[in-house]
Amino acid sequence: QNYLITRLRAASVDDDARTFATIPSRTSMSHADLWGGAERMAAALVQMGVVPGDRVAVQVEKTIEAIQLYLGTVMAGGVFLPLNTAYTTPEVAYFLGDATPRVVVCDPAKEVAIVEISNGVHVVTLDAAGQGSMSDAAAQMSGFVPIDRSADDLAAILYTSGTTGRSKGAMLSHKNLASNSETLRDYWRFTSADVLIHALPIFHTHGLFVATNVALLAGASVVFLARYDPDLILDAMPQATALMGVPTFYTRLLGDPRLTRKQAVNMRLFISGSAPLLVDTHESWEQRTGHRILERYGMTETNMNTSNPYDGERRAGTVGFPLPGVQARILKDGIEVPDGEIGVLEVRGDNVFKGYWQMPKKTAEELQADGWFITGDLARVDQDGYVTIVGRSKDLVITGGFNVYPKEVESLIDDIPGVLESAVIGVPHPDFGEAVVAVVVPDGEDLQAQGIIDALADQLAKFKQPKKVIILPELPRNTMGKVQKKALREEYSTLFA
Ligand code: ATP
Ligand code: MG
């Protein structure tokens, strides 16, 4: 048996004529056709020489065929290794050198360049319409019996987003993926009656594992969108039941007058994650649609760790409770902190990865022998058990020997009239080591840096107050909506030099 595939297929296998995906302006696809195509992909990969444990590196546009390639790779006993479509060829060269895949699948437009950097590895193509030499090879095949793989075998290597440094390859086992998606399906009550709007990229854990695996495990169907598209998302809502998005989906949709209570009346669940959702967005969404967004927290290395409850209070600004089967603790200087105090969050459970690919030292530093993984996120738990992520330990500012948690300052700035959002960073300073700097995005109105400094004067200890406020039209973000503080720190590194 193939541990993950058996589980992903179980919910639809007896009733596989039902729709798996609706693809606006293209077609729809049944569960039977999804899996039939996946089997042909698996057979084609085996013919290309893929043996169990081999990596299949994939940098392609989001298509159902790419989903079939993911499933086919796992069926063939391989390790699926998706790459962000934004990576340039030199960046891809690093990943291929690191991961040494058996097969590389890329867009036809990049084929020549990829062949040049791939050292004789087999390169095939898949385009934005699902066509290419990979699908041609698959079309020659018929049927495939999944190769036996057990719980601890690798199913994927997923690279982290590279927000804090160079991306690391997280090795994820069949059980890591299956157990977490089963937990989420049950926690969020996904069933075969659900229609999930799938508009996230599939090179990241959110779109690939949370959205795709949960839908498959529930035997649900998806409205399959190649990317975030407000027209298509709003069109889909009356026929759909759930949306998974990053915070920018929600802020952008709020800017669209077509988002109304009526449009969302058939929806039962809006889920947000991958980056912090502003309390403001949570509240505006509820006012506009009548729905309280369910925020959850996870990372590439661990899948999902915490979630707000399905029933019960979804508390804005928090990421809810540790999921069933996930243990969480918060430590400072090696000791667990009392409720309400900030420390580094550690998690343990079947969801936690097997280590970083070819980085034994980093793995040993962060994944401890007793199974506790140091997330690098700073968090606190309130007396009701809700977890709040207050930032990353790498973003902590240390100024004149004092710790400043950016989130505390950001929250106060965000409450100042005329402010949309903010990012607080530490930059080198000759006297203080680091100085607090606030980058602030105005809410359309005229906003003065001095006004912000004045507004904070009575609210914060002197050392926490920004030494400089910079007004910008928007914050730099990646495709997952993550604010790129590293880029801001680089940009303003010489402010006090
Ligand atoms: P890298 O590890 O390469 O620096 P990254 O941590 O951004 O990049 P991901 O694994 O994609 O890569 O993101 C996980 C991180 O995203 C978490 O550690 C956390 O900081 C952040 N995150 C995810 N969900 C939430 C959330 N709901 N609220 C706040 N932060 C979140
Ligand atoms: Mg990370």
* 53-86 pLDDT tens trace: 999 999 999 999 999 999 999 999 999 999 999 9
The confidence score (pLDDT) of residue 284 equals 97
What does the alpha-carbon distance between residue 362 and residue 359 come to, in Å, rounded to a whole number? 5
Give me 383's structure tokens.
């007396």
**Would the CB of 208 count as within 6 Å of ligand 1?**
no
**pTM of the model as a whole:** 0.95
**Would the CB of 164 count as within 6 Å of ligand 1?**
yes
Query: Closest ligand 1 atom to the C-alpha of 376?
Result: 18
Give me 324's structure tokens.
């069933």
**Cα(206) to centroid of ligand 1, in Å?**
11
Tell me which residue of 284, 314, 231 sits closest to 420, measured CA to CA. Answer: 284
**Would the CB of 135 count as within 6 Å of ligand 1?**
no
Q: Mark the ranges of the chain whose per-residue pLDDT is less than 70.
A: none
**Would the CB of 465 count as within 6 Å of ligand 1?**
no
The confidence score (pLDDT) of residue 392 equals 94
Q: What is the dihedral of CA 367, 370, 371, 375, to 10 degrees?
A: -50
Do strands 373-381 and 387-392 pair parallel, antiparallel, or not at all (unpaired)?
antiparallel
DSSP string, 86-124: T--HHHHHHHHHHH--SEEEE-GGGHHHHHHHTTT-EEE
Please report which ligand is nearest the Cα atom of 480.
Answer: 1
Handedness of CA 135, 136, 141, 142 (dihedral sign): positive
Mutate to test the pocket of ligand 1, among 482, 483, 489 (most ligand atoms within 8 A of CB): 482
Strand partners, 399: 402
What does the alpha-carbon distance between residue 109 and residue 131 come to, in Å, rounded to a whole number? 12
Residues in CB range of 163: below 8 A, 6 or more apart: 392, 478, 482, 484, 485, 486
Are residues 246 and 274 in contact, defined by beta-carbon separation less than 8 angstroms?
A: yes
**Would the CB of 366 count as within 6 Å of ligand 1?**
no
Are residues 178 and 4 in contact, defined by beta-carbon separation less than 8 angstroms?
A: yes
Do strands 55-59 and 27-30 pair parallel, antiparallel, or not at all (unpaired)?
unpaired
Please report which ligand is nearest the Cα atom of 275.
Answer: 1
**Cα(495) to centroid of ligand 2, in Å?**
27
**Would the CB of 160 count as within 6 Å of ligand 1?**
yes
Q: How distant, in Å, are the alpha carbons of 51, 138, 172, 184 from that of 68? A: 18, 10, 19, 22
The confidence score (pLDDT) of residue 446 equals 84
Coil, strand or helix at 470: strand
What is the side-by-side order of every strand in the sheet holding 294-299?
A: 27-30, 19-23, 221-224, 195-198, 242-245, 269-272, 294-299, 303-307, 321-322
Query: Closest ligand 1 atom to the C-alpha of 296?
Result: 27
**Would the CB of 319 count as within 6 Å of ligand 1?**
yes
**Would the CB of 392 count as within 6 Å of ligand 1?**
yes
Residues found in the chain: 497
**Would the CB of 479 count as within 6 Å of ligand 1?**
no
Tell me which residue of 362, 460, 379, 479 sits closest to 415, measured CA to CA. Answer: 460
pLDDT digits over 449-462, tens only? 999 999 999 999 99
The confidence score (pLDDT) of residue 450 equals 94
